[in-house]
Structure 1
Amino acid sequence: MKVGDFVVERLHAWGVRRIYGYPGDGINGVTGALQRAGNIEFIQARHEEMAAFMAVAHAKFTGELGVCFSTGGPGATHMITGLYDAKLDHVPVLAICGQAEATVRGANYQQELNLDRMFADVAGFAQEASSPAQVRHLIDRGIRVAKAGNCPSVLIFPKDIQDQDYEEPAVAHGFTRSGVGYRRPKIVPDDTELARAAEILNAGNKVAILIGAGARGTAPQLIELADRLGAGVAKALLGKDVLSDDLPFVTGAIGLLGTEPSWDLMQGCDTLLMIGTGFPWSEFLPKDGSARAVQIDIEPSMLSLRYPAEVNLHGDAATTLNALLPRLKHKEDRDWSRTIETNIASWWKKLEGRAMADATPVNPQRVVWEMSPLLPANSIVTSDSGSCANWFARDYRVQNGQLASLSGGLASMGAAVPYAIGAKFAHPDRPVIALVGDGAMQMNNMAELITVQKYWKRWTDPRWIVCVFNNQDLNEVTWEQRVMEGNPKFEASQGIPDFPYSRFGEMLGFKGIFVDSPDRLTSAWQEALTSDRPVVLEIKTDPEVVPLPPHVTLQQARGFMSSMIKGDEATGHVIGETAKQVFNGLFGKKE
């Protein structure tokens, strides 16, 4: 048995059944072993960064370890962005990289990089093999660290090591013998701390709950918790699919991409419970001293990081909530919960008014607003970073049973399509929809449509849809320049070429749908969702529809007006669209 064969055998023993990657001579020993074994599926991406994003998506949508691999040198450097996505969103991913021969390490050899140093910041465990007897414990420890720490691990194998005969570690000094297996424990906080947390939550009159991805799988407990405390529940973006948006106490997303009810919830509460969230923008949380707080998180380093909590409960969400719920009293006063529900009902009407406002040619909010009620209950939705993430956050009303995610902590462009590919391989019987801006499509997502073309006929359900918002603008940055910096749109940096995305899809054998009229949106979505093949749905959207934050600060208002005064080429259009958004938000949909 060669070392490459042992690597594949050990991965299989750990439960790995799929690897995303791109080959190269630096990883040929493992590639050949994959071919010989035939028991782990290899998915060939078009780029190593995309392979890493696919592995992240596998981890997010299954709870399992995601695995990617590459050659050394540029293959490894390409992969690092996707691994940072895994690190910042706290998901387990294993990356396997090739390396120049051990015999030339330190010789400034071709494609020789100090990869263990390069990956040291992103990985919880990063090691390069130097002998066959070392490989067993590197694999075992790397996978165990990734799974236990919800983080990336990186294993680096020099070319010659991969092709050497495998050696079991000796029962002797200077060797160590590792084993396979890890199951996450159920961690519950101390009874004393649970009692303290219950005292704070029972004493509160206006309780707010903020949930993130760490609360996934706790919907029954959260519903009981909100009912017992009369609380509203806001969702960090990575926690969007934890609870259905149709629940009357769910205020939706929080932050710059969030909702007005979530802003009102946080500013009006006297008690805050945070569960499994690392939501970064603390300015959207209560002011210091205005609310007593309790936080639950499996990662102790995240406790009291965004808001000072009186009680920090180190534990997994489900087990901790199960232990906490019997200690909580049912609140009889429902004035606070009635206020929350009234705010939410008003918000959905306001959002409909904004989505249905006229635009030139199509209002991007309406694209997602029309999509949302048409999605099957088992759909998976991914979004890219950029302005489309605003509409994903607000206008997509996630239903119970649906899954959704995006690059959260890293907020990387170019993740939506590889996420959708990873989701489809993990769940080939479920429809998958990716919401993508034209900037991300041109950056790196168009090439991955070729990956879909290569594999889609394997999928049980062929429905795989990429919805492209074609506005010829790097729109999120344009608005950040206007509002945050007070500068007009800089066409040289912001304008991007027009491209026939739907026709490109047709060239690949997909269904291509082009929409440049809002009246076509519903039928276009229906056509896409009943297609017998993947779909590229291209929609010509208006770049001047403002992504209004839930709360406009004086500084943001000044920045916006400054950018208009300085001569933004679209000043008239921008002001007109903003006025329509405000009008329709106040008075609802125009008849």
Structure 2
Amino acid sequence: MARQTSDFFVERLKAWGVKRIYGYSGDGINGVLGALQRDEGSPDAVEFVQVRHEEMAAFMAAAHAKFTGEMGVCLSTGGPGATHLITGLYDAKSDHVPVLAIAGQAEVTVRGASYQQELNLDRMFADVADYVQEVGAPAQVRHVTDRAIRVATANRGVGVVILPKDVQDMPYEEPKQAHGFTRSGPGYSAPRVVPHDADLARAAAILNEGKKVAILIGAGARGAASEVEHMAEKLGAGVAKALLGKDVLPDDLRFVTGAIGLLGTQPSSDMIQGCDTLLMIGTGFPWAEFLPADGKARAVQIDLAPEMLGLRYPVDVNLHGDAAETLRALLPLVEHKSDRDWQHGIVSNIEKWRETLKGRALADAKPVNPQRVVCEMSPRLPDDAIVTSDSGSCCNWYARDWQVKRGQRGSLSGGLASMGAAVPYAIAAKFAHSARPVVALVGDGAMQMNNMAELITIQKYWQRWADPRLVVCVFNNEDLNEVTWEQRINEGNPRFDASQSLPNVPYARFAELLGLTGIYVDDPAQLGDAWDRALAADRPVVLEVKTDPDVAPLPPHVTLEQAKGFLSSLAGGDRGGASVVMETARQIIGGVRERL
């Protein structure tokens, strides 16, 4: 039997180092699946992981890229299978990680005929992809595959290869050494990107002149942890972390202020607002209200993506370069500051904030305070644990109450902030690092949206993992909680039951039906033991906690307008539990008074 074009395609993926594909089958991509099947016995066979939905496959590919530094790969049939990929691909695009999407398509012979499942996929993917191409002939597959992977890897973005059904099954033909053909090859090595000496000198001058230096890091600083730490020590600075950079530095470093922004800490907010010099490293942190006012601070920014430079703040010196390489070149030019009053003040604020966090977590709630869920988890996590979070109010507790240890990893849908990413992220983390324990923090809205189905994926594969521990912690508050609080505080509206109420689903019992372990907690005194049991289990666990929806995910500082909005929601007859809502009102009003 002649080698089919799909066989060559799989061989080419292997030449590029692809080891795993997350996807779902369909007749439009059956040729590639057949090639994967024929290759199953080879020593470097590509593993195919069957998900419940193509969107989850794309999320897993993005998470694979985040947790390994390699390109993630996802696969779908054409038509609706391909449309399902879009959300997860935008997650990769927004967070600057490389992903290859492989999509089937109707036969070339019916293109343009409004055939079943025929969509103009190249147009559909055009915005999300750095490179997208539909293949029309076997000789085209070679350069389209090479280019899609190379562009996605180099640009840290999305590449898409669209393969019509009939092309997959055609005998493969190498491109000829002739006019009208092109012959490409695999392979890419990232360059060493470092700014010019003159620009480094200008940046060092600004940092040396600063009296109150703040550092803000994101995911782009991940490979530069030791350099960031050294820079903070020399400058007497504090370090705040954008959400995607939460795991870059451990939280027990005395000058690390924690997360910044709506989900951030008071020490981070105070430091950034009080600094006279700001050094931003590998971050696209979006919220302008948490950065200094124009002209209040001089700024230096380091980023490997030139399109992100000077985008969030009017920066004095933009340094286009790899974070670690650039910091190594910059550090010898930076003077050690002898005055440590600024940093000592930051450290003092951090110590006070930790007591505040502890007090908030231990405050009474009905029945369980959601902050306490993560507060109890944090010290129990092994040093090599990986934590994922969904979007929603659980992300607040991930950002603030999880105290990252050195060696731990964590991530979530950052720029896109999509619901439904925590469990697929956790699954990808287990496939990438099967010997490490993984925890997913998930709201009940995201569980009902799509994450419950992916528990079936966990059930299908968990016995392959070297360490079976994967804990899906569900915050069951019967409420789309983050939006509920946005309605209250930002809009001044009472909770809208029609849009916010969720049915009460027995998540732990559902896990048991699948053969997993289910643990249910509705008493805060049981939380510690529940986490111990979950982290010692011999199989994946769904830890369902009945949490109080009326514990507010407050920003680090509440504005007067937000306080007015919340009080307006109370006047409008908000249904929230009176005692907790009034405690929230006390915190909000007290916080505003402190700032007046």
Short-chain TM bin: over 0.9
Task: Give the conservation status (yes or no) of the 8 Å contact 2:58–2:85.
Answer: yes
**Counterpart contact for 1:384–1:415, Cα < 8 Å:** yes
Match of 1:335 among 341, 352, 357: 341
2:483 maps to 477
C-alpha contact (below 8 Å) 2:389/2:442 kept by paired residues = yes
Kept after mapping to 1: 8 A contact 2:60/2:428 = yes
The answer for the alignment partner of 1:373 in structure 2 is: 379
Distance in 2 of aligned mates of 1:576 and 1:558: 14
SS in 2 for 1:485: coil
Deviation at 1:580, TM superposition (A): 7.2
- CA contact under 8 A between 1:235 and 1:251: conserved in structure 2? yes
Confirm or deny that 1:294 pairs with 2:303: no
Is residue 7 of structure 1 aligned with residue 9 of structure 2?
A: yes
**Correspondence for 2:35 among 33, 36, 40:** 33
- Tell me if structure 2 keeps the 8 A contact 1:432–1:465: yes
1:306-321 alignment, distance < 5 Å:
306-321=312-327
* Aligned equivalents of 1:551, 1:179: Cα separation in 2: 54
Matched AA of 1:360? K
Partner of 1:552: 558
Aligned residues: percent identity? 72
Determine which of 111, 118, 123 is the counterpart of 2:117: 111
- Give, as a single letter, the amino acid of the residue that structure 1 aligns with 2:360: R
Partners of 1:385 and 1:223 in 2: CA distance: 29
CA root-mean-square deviation: 1.2
Distance 2:328 2:207 in 1: 15
Note the C-alpha offset of 1:579.
5.4
Q: Which amino acid aligns with 2:23?
A: G
Q: Which runs of 4+ in 1 moved over 4 A?
A: 579-586
What aligned pairs does 1:340-489 form with structure 2 within 5 A after superposition?
340-489=346-495
Output the CA distance in 2 between the equivalents of 1:511 and 1:552: 40
Counterpart of 1:251? Answer: 257
Question: Aligned AA for 1:400?
Answer: R
1:190 matched to 2:192: no
Rounded Cα–Cα distance in structure 1 between residues aligned with 2:210 and 2:327: 18
Q: 1:81 to 1:312 in 2, by over 3 A?
A: same
Q: Within 1, Cα distance between the matches of 2:84 and 2:561?
A: 38
Contact in 1 for aligned 2:219/2:283 (Cα 8 Å): yes
Q: Distance in 1 between matches of 2:522 and 2:267?
A: 32
Q: Output the CA distance in 2 between the equivalents of 1:202 and 1:16.
A: 45
Note the C-alpha offset of 1:575.
2.6
Partner residue of 2:281? 275
* Deviation, structure 1 residue 570: 1.7
Per the TM alignment, residue 576 of structure 1 is displaced from its structure 2 partner at its CA by 2.9
The corresponding residue for 1:589 is none
Q: 1:493 aligns with which of 486, 489, 499?
A: 499
Is the CA contact 1:4–1:30 (under 8 Å) kept in the aligned structure 2?
Answer: yes
Assess if the C-alpha contact under 8 Å between 1:245 and 1:399 holds in 2: yes
- Aligned residue for 1:222? 228
Q: Distance in 2 between matches of 1:382 and 1:241?
A: 11
In 1, distance between residues paired with 2:75 and 2:135?
15
Of 20, 23, 26 in structure 1, the residue corresponding to residue 25 of structure 2 is 23
Kept after mapping to 2: 8 A contact 1:353/1:584: no
SS at match of 1:330: coil
For residues 136-193 of structure 1, what are the alpha-carbon distances to aligned partners after superposition, in whole Å with 9 as ceiling and x for unaligned?
A: 0000000000000000111000000000011111111111111110111110000000
Distance 2:159 2:353 in 1: 43
- Length, aligned pairs only: 586
Residue among 152, 168, 175 paired with 1:162: 168
8 Å Cα contact 1:102/1:130 also seen in 2: yes
Report if aligned partners of 2:27, 2:77 keep a CA contact under 8 Å in 1: yes
Of 547-556 and 417-426, deviating more is 547-556
Aligned counterpart for 1:52 among listed residues 31, 37, 58: 58
Is residue 260 from structure 1 mapped to residue 235 from structure 2 by the alignment?
Answer: no
Alignment-derived partner of residue 75 in structure 1: 81
Letter in structure 2 aligned against 1:189: P
Q: Whole-Å Cα distance in 2 between the matches of residues 415 and 581 of structure 1?
A: 31
Aligned residue runs from structure 1 range 100-179, under 5 A: 100-179=106-185
How much does 1:572 deviate? 2.1
2:223 is paired with a residue whose SS is coil
